[in-house]
A and B are shown apart, each in its own frame.
Chain A
Amino acid sequence: MIRFENVSFHYGGENGTGEGVDNINLTINDGEVVVLCGSSGCGKTTLTRLINGLAPHFYEGEIEGEVRVNDLLVSEAELSETSRYVGSVFQNPKSQFFNIDTTGELVFGCENQGMSRAEIAERLARTNKDMKLDALIGRNIFELSGGEKQQIACGSVYTAHPDVYVLDEPSSNLDRKAIHRLHEILKKIKESGKTIVISEHRLYYLMDLADRFIYLDDGIITASYTSAELARLSDDELASLGLRCTDLNKLDKDPENISFANAGQPVVEAIDLNCTKGGNQILDIERLRLPEHAIVAVIGDNGSGKSTLTEALCGVGTSDGSIAFNGRYLSERERASRSFMVMQDVNRQLFSDSVIEEVMLNASESRERALEILDKLGLKDTCERHPSSLSGGQKQRVAIASALCAGKEIIFYDEPTSGLDRKGMERFGEILSEMRDKITSVIITHDPELILRCCTHILHIENGRVMGFYPLNADGVQRVRGYFMSESDENTSKDRKKYGIFGRVLKYAGKWKRYVVLAVIFMVLGAFFGAVPYAGIYDLITRFLDEGSLTLNGSLPDIGLILVAGILYAVAYTFGLQLSHRAAYHTLENIRISLQGKLDGQPIGNIHDMGIGTVKKLFNDDIESVELMLAHVIPEGFSNIFVGSVILLILIAVDWQMALCSVVILLLGFAASRQMYDVGMDKMGYYFASSKRLNNSIIEYVSGMEVVRIFNRSRKSGERFEDSVYKYRDFGLAWYEVCWPWMAIYGSLFANVTLYSLPLGALLVILGHLTLNRYILALCLSYALGPLLLHTLALIGSMPRVNYKIQSIEKALDRPALKCGNEEFKGEDHSITFDKVRFAYKGDEVIKGISFTAKEGQMTALVGESGSGKSTIARLIAHYYDVDSGVIRIGGQDINGLSLETLGDQISYVSQELFLFNKSIMENIRIGRPDATDEEVKEAARRAGCEEFILSFEDGYDTMAGACGNKLSGGQKQRIAFARVLLKDAPVIVLDEATAFIDPENEKKMNDAIEEIIRDKTVLIIAHKLSSIAKADKIIVLGKGRIISEGTHAELIKNCEEYRRLWTATEESNRWILKGGQEK
């Protein structure tokens, strides 16, 4: 029990973060969940601090009255005493951890209380179990996302088992899923009978948990609501209280606010944006265009790559790919100078002593203009104050003002409204809307209220890929609301392991890694033997110098040495290459197997999207490039570098001055190659973009050739092609132009190290510091060094290409696998239920919140125009794709919990296209149930009406389908598919346009076959020809991804306009066919 008796508290001294609270009388009973709400600075946080004792023990001030938790007088007791009863979770995930590792943090509270080791271990285990923290144990807190940190914070309080939980804006950094998880955690805590006090701006997720909402205004409790009472308040009433919305369902966009009229040209354009960190693909975006004058909200779950994307766009994060502002491809530095990011932690970007100095720091505007801008943002009074003395919202506006004064074109915001109250949020939205004419805004946000208030477009990022980019019109509002209301609470954050490029490939090598190591050893040996002849030559020359002449006999040992070394070199090198190739090809095998495994787990849709060409390219070409790396780059590169270093060390031993000279030369060479890389990368954007354009125009040119010839437009289309070829040439030349000087420099430096050490050595010899022998040895070593380095450089030069190939393999593997469980089917019947299902395909939402039930033993038909989403629904039932939100159930069981096999046993899905394997027809039908006997197969064929035409073939059932595939008509193929279904005898039948190939002559047979199939099953049928489904038990009319109406044929004809239209259309086409038939 928490009791406030006449409590007043006012901060003293420097802790003036709020005004404090007055005359608080409040009793919170055990097991109650109380939410403290009100606008910023109303005293919510102060109340939480009074409960956990931080006020007045840490934040000092004057206190009157008494705060008691159970029987403890918090206002007097030591903090360590209070902490036994009260557990606190704070707003800022960055600053509430004492430890760096998660385990240490989880047990921190228990340790502070001095619990025994056994007790702590037991509690830790229970926390892990209850909160599902297994994936987060033993990790670096600094690597976790905001949502994960908040989970750890809740977990560590939970481990200490306090009676009272105090949470101060726990949701401010969380995405929708993390909020769901937080909700679940709070529910669990509530169920265990603990008291919870939450200070929060976001209210909607607490509506079903909270017993009371205490409303504070200016430090005084002015009202108290139950959930029901609060839910009844209209939006206007909430607004006047300064409270945020209580139900996302009610949230809507002000229609007047939408105007896309001036959202025109793309202001930001990115092509082939890739970003990897520590070997993990973070971003993979093919093309992205953000329109001018737009306010784009970037949404997506924590860790999906939103921040990486915005940082790449504004030029402070590294990425591959080309990014253009206003149609010009720019380097990172140029982009940074033309854009601005308002960071979440705005403290980091305030550099000056006063607000006015801050905005004038790199302003292109005059001081008067700057003052004007400050005035507009409501900061005029503060312009002499120190930025750090301002409130969070004010600091944010100072940052915006500085961007405006610097004449930036695009401003990015990183979660600008986290921790802002309703007024702050609204004000922020207004500022954005006002600036829209001049500046494009891109906002990373988890705040649906802000999005619906001011944004014009939504960019949805998931797993580093663009899931959708759409304007926020009526449909868009539906879609974005669907996103935020989705009930998924899974944790998408992965424990990303860091691998370098070699590690990434080597992890597939398995036991063959040994061979790679052996290969390296042999290569090193080989390179060593390769250097031995120089020693022989040195010896010969020394003797020549010493003795004045060389005899054949005397030089035989040296010549022998050189010969033997040469042979050994060849042997070791060849053997090393053999080993490395063996390892390489076995690794290729492993990668292919693993790729195949990953492909199996992918949604079929993804594989279709990739296309046969891409998959083939992956399995063949891309994987093949790994061979170059494993067989050559690793062993040869390693041995070259190793031997090169040894030579350098020997050179040091011979004469350190000459060595130093060589090192300086080499360093200069490396600097030049580095410089080339830098300037090259700046221009690379243009280069890649034009190469992409060239590719596209080649495709267009070739695929459009037919049309072009027919309409005699070849000149025009040829011009387009030529144009892009010239552009490509120009960009290529421009790129080489900037790179060429540097290439020449490092090429000549590396190849001619000797050239520079030669005169120095000669000087040393003349001065008598160096003997001639040693001089010659040093020269020999320098000669050996050059080729090694150039060879290595060539290998390094091929790395980007290899890296790119490997990346594309990883990209393919990285896509999220289909969500499959391995539960047994335990549905109570075989009805199919869609519950608020939403699904987007290639960025366009095609299923927009559909709910329906197809009952067992009934026939449910889906009708609608093409593109209304009928076939997609069928594919979703067969689990070709994962839904974005909502649930599909079969007999009450979520299909995501079933394995594909189990689901396959329940469902027969007949699509429009039938694939025949190159086997006999018998075997092709048997695919329906592999253990069926020949007799059963024939029986099924008979019932499906296939027997007749099968027997008409020469070999009957043994005819090879490949050979007769072309002979079969569409209807016949369809009936073979029916035979499969009959054989399989699954309780759910999904027929997608099964009657598409009906023509008058086989109509009866087809219909008979269908009759056979659907007897006593749950049937979902999709048909264009409405006549065939008129007798269905239920007809669902779809339009643009939504359900327009449902009912029986009679009802729909009467009530549904759309259905009537579809019906008349089919009727007419039927007549047309009939007429045609008669004329014959």
Chain B
Amino acid sequence: MDLTFYGEDVKGLIRVDPRTKVLIFITSSLVCVSSYSDIGIAMYSVVLCILFALCGKPMTALKASLALGVVLFVRAMMGNSKGAPEVIVMVLTLITTSFMFAFPTLMSIYFIVKTTRISHFLSAFQAMHVPVKAIVPVAVFFRFLPTVTDEWNGIRKAMAFRGISLSPVQIIVHPWKTIEFILIPMLFSSMSVMEELAAATMARGMDLEVRRSSYEEVKLHAVDYLLIVLFAAMFVLAAVIAQMAKEGAVL
């Protein structure tokens, strides 16, 4: 996974409004928790990957869908050979199932992070009259992902000089010590960044009471409406399939 948290959709064939993306995230989460059928999730995930590709990240989408394909294939083929030790079957089932059911949610978060710019996000939700107080934390969260990555890189280097090992053995033997060594500098460093960031933001006129304008045009386009309908429909469909599977009607 590419750990540069920078969202843009300049190369995309379509541009999707941040509100639609959040809606997709919500339906994804609902699908994950409510649908128990492989087919429902597979269908949903494929559409999600296609959307990701259309928004300018075809390689990411391809890799994700390949991984998904392999997992689905393994799940489907698990029945072809009997007599394997219980443990192996259980572990394999656990891995594949959690991958399957986490896929839509993680993918839609990644989708938001990778294709949305913070300013676009802010303005889209302001246009919907969502109070700034509710949006800013999300925006700050986005802003903080790359910061944390950055800090982590620095801390890792600092640890190398201090002879603090990050090997699996060390982590297992001294879990608390390791966490402490990571957390203390991370917290203090992040805290000072946070404070300065807040000061800078306020000094530049960000105010929860004042209404902001937006450089970017925010409007739900035909694509957005189409996607909203599509994902809502898929959610319903997935739920129906799951229900039917539960009743044992099909599959």
Contact = CB atoms under 8 A, between A and B. Distances in A.
Contacts of B217: 117
B170 interface: no
B197 interface: yes
B215 A98 contact: no
Interface stretch (B33-41, B104-112, B156-164, B223-231): B156-164
Interface in A100-122: 100-101, 103-104, 107-117, 120-121
A402 B164 CA distance: 14
A652 B74 contact: yes
B162 A362 contact: yes
A654 B80 CA distance: 7
Given A96-B196, A764-B83, A111 B214 contact: yes
Given A95-B193, A351-B162, A660 B200 contact: no
B181 A351 contact: yes
Contact of A58 (B142, B154, B198, B210): B198
Contacts of A351: 158-159, 162, 164, 180-181, 184-185
Given A341-B161, A770-B81, A54 B206 contact: no
A79 B199 CA distance: 10
Contacts of B146: 100, 142
B203 A315 contact: no
B210 A100 contact: no
A881 to B, nearest CB: 38
B117 A343 contact: no
B6 A362 contact: no
B137 to A, nearest CB: 13
B5 interface: yes
Among A52, A116, A340, A351, residue most surrounded by chain B Cβ atoms (within 10 Å):
A351
A348 B196 contact: no
A96 B164 CA distance: 31
Nearest to A348: B154
Interface string A116-146: 1100110010000000000000101011000
A348 B202 contact: no
B196 A349 contact: no
Interface residues of A, number: 86
B77 interface: yes
A206 B63 CA distance: 53
Contacts of A140: 4, 6
Given A111-B215, A348-B189, A52 B207 contact: no
Contact of B157 (A311, A361, A658, A767): A311
Interface in B183-224: 184-185, 188-189, 192-194, 196-207, 209-215, 217
A84 B203 CA distance: 10
Contacts of A101: 6-8, 117-119
Contacts of B119: 99, 101, 103-104, 107-108, 111
A80 B206 contact: yes
A407 B165 CA distance: 18
Contacts of A108: 119, 204, 206
Interface stretch (A86-94, A515-523, A1036-1044): A86-94
Contacts of B201: 98
B209 A80 contact: yes
A336 interface: yes
Contact of A316 (B73, B160, B210): B160
B246 interface: no
Given A59-B199, A111-B213, A100 B118 contact: yes
B120 interface: yes
Given A111-B213, A660-B88, A100 B83 contact: no
Contacts of A115: 213
Contacts of B185: 347-351
Interface string B136-163: 0001001100110011001111111111
A100 B142 contact: yes
A337 B163 contact: yes
B157 A316 contact: yes
B123 interface: yes
Given A351-B180, A408-B161, 6 more contacts: A79-B202, A88-B200, A88-B204, A104-B117, A143-B6, A349-B158
Interface of B: 4-8, 10, 70, 73-74, 77-78, 80-84, 88, 92, 117-120, 123, 139, 142-143, 146-147, 150-151, 154-164, 180-181, 184-185, 188-189, 192-194, 196-207, 209-215, 217
24 contacts: A79-B207, A96-B196, A98-B139, A98-B206, A99-B117, A111-B215, A112-B205, A112-B206, A112-B212, A117-B214, A120-B215, A124-B215, A138-B8, A156-B204, A316-B157, A316-B160, A349-B154, A351-B164, A402-B162, A652-B77, A653-B77, A653-B80, A769-B81, A769-B82
User: Top 7 closest A-B pairs, CB basis?
Assistant: A83-B205, A104-B119, A80-B207, A349-B158, A112-B205, A95-B196, A140-B6
